[in-house]
Amino acid sequence: MNKQRRVVITGKGAVTPFGIGVPVFAEALQKGQSGIRLLQQLDTTRLPTKGGGEVAVPLSPVAGLAPRAPRFVQFAALAFQEAWRESGLAGETFDKSRLGVLLGTSRGVVRELELACELLRRKGAARLQAEHPGLLQLLFPVWGSGALSHSIAQLAGAAGHVGTISAACASGTIAIGEAARLISEGVCDVMIAGGAEAPFTPTSFAGVCSSKAMSERWDDPAAACRPFDARRDGYVMGEGAGVLILESYDHARARGASPLAEIIGYAQTDDASHITVPTGEGLRTAIRLALQEARLAPEELDYINAHGTSTKLNDKWETWALHQALGNAAYRIPVSSTKSMTGHLLGAAGAVETIACLLAMEHSFLPPTINYSEADPDCDLDYVPNDARSQNVSLALTQSLGFGGHNAVLLLQGK
């Protein structure tokens, strides 16, 4: 990132398996609670995976949002509303051509596509068009993931750079990093950035079950996700959204806003190897590049929010990458996976985990890795096991790894 202008965060909003809003998320992190439960949206009778990080509360209507907006867009809209309020921009007059939106998702439109295909199968195209003359408008939200950022741009009146990032599980982190770059380079003054996901659809969920990558131990749903533990047997899927308001430091200062944190480093790399087998080398490079951009030594970090999926390969190679990038400092820096509590929110994971870092700074605590009881020789760092820990956090690193070899790292400095 060409650091021509400083980039700060002035607002945050979240929808997580704990409910709608950042406060319920903050409370769950501090208490080490699990938001993973048996699924209600899907019939999992014939499936080996029975649960996930499901948003079980009703979703409130969002004024200005299409009534048939996909679930993942509704999540993003609710998170945006919260972040926009906190930023104080709702009452501000500024150039909306300098306001942009960059959000990440990996598979949010699958449910709507399935519903549309089912309608076409049952009724046929001609009958469907006759019964629904407004079909084109009805199906607009399912055209593609671009509906995500466009919908939020409509709500905010954003007429600047608007786009959607789809880089698997690194989507949300990359969206925030690239949004920061657009501000730093002077393209926009304000960016709405983050990610949203609603993956619990019959087709996609059954498909992922067949990959054998998800946990199949559901005698105790709250303990299904065990990052870095020797007993881990796969990840647990989750849904939700995280949205941040980013501004240039000068723009925020001019209107008297109080930044929550500053983005001081960002890097994105790719493993450039087998699509499903991580190596750790791309992540190692990304961590080093982000530290280099921030002009930080590894020893200065207070906390690392790991990708920590609870799969055998990810946790092993992520630990390896941290050792390689940080050297002996890796043993000193606390590392935790909040996926142990939320499940893996896929394209929204990085955005929600960035908010977890902001909460760690705000409330002076380290979020725990819950369900940790048996050490793995390949995973030998301080994973903040089971209980939150009181500690001041000024410099935090969050990292995301995406299916296909995507790696993204953000460095945050507290106010």
Q: Say which residue the tokens 């994971």 belong to.
A: 349
d(CA 40, CA 52): 10
Q: Is 169 among the catalytic positions?
A: yes
Of residues 150, 344, 357, 406, which has the active-site annotation?
344
Rounded to whole angstroms, the Cα distance separating 401 from 250 reads 32
Q: Is 10 helix (H, G, I), strand (E, B) or coil?
A: strand
| Domain of residue 22, residue span | 7-109+144-414
Q: Residue 271 has which token pair?
A: 């493993």
**Out of 161, 169, 188, 357, which one is annotated catalytic?**
169
C-alpha span between 153 and 127 (Å, rounded): 34
> Alpha helix (H) ranges present in 243-348?
249-254, 281-294, 312-326, 339-342
Structure tokens at 153: 């741009």
Which of 209, 307, 357, 406 is catalytic? The answer is: 307
> Residue 401 in contact with residue 322, Cβ under 8 Å?
no
Nearest-angstrom CA–CA distance, 315 and 337: 10
DSSP 300: G
123 in a structural domain: no
For the chain, how many structural domains are there in total?
1
Q: Is residue 138 part of a domain?
A: no
Does the residue 124 lie in any domain?
Answer: no
DSSP strands (E only) in 82-217: 99-104, 162-165, 190-197
Q: The domain that contains 161 carries what CATH number? A: 3.40.47.10
- Is 116 part of any domain? no
Q: What Rg, from alpha-carbon coordinates, does the chain have?
A: 20
| Full-model pTM | 0.92
**Residue 385 maps to a domain:** yes
In a domain, 115, yes or no: no
Residue where the block lists tokens 């993003």 = 76
d(Cα 348, Cα 104) in Å, to the nearest integer? Answer: 7
**CA–CA gap between residue 150 and residue 164 (Å, rounded):** 9
In a domain, 18, yes or no: yes
Please, what are the averages of pLDDT over each run of 10 residues along the chain (415 residues)? 82 98 98 97 93 94 85 95 97 94 78 57 62 51 69 96 94 98 97 95 82 93 98 97 98 96 97 72 96 97 98 95 97 98 97 98 98 97 98 98 90 94
The DSSP output letter for 152 is H
Q: Does residue 149 lie within any of the structural domains?
A: yes
In this prediction, residue 415 carries a pLDDT of: 81
**CA angle (315, 38, 74) in 5-degree steps:** 85
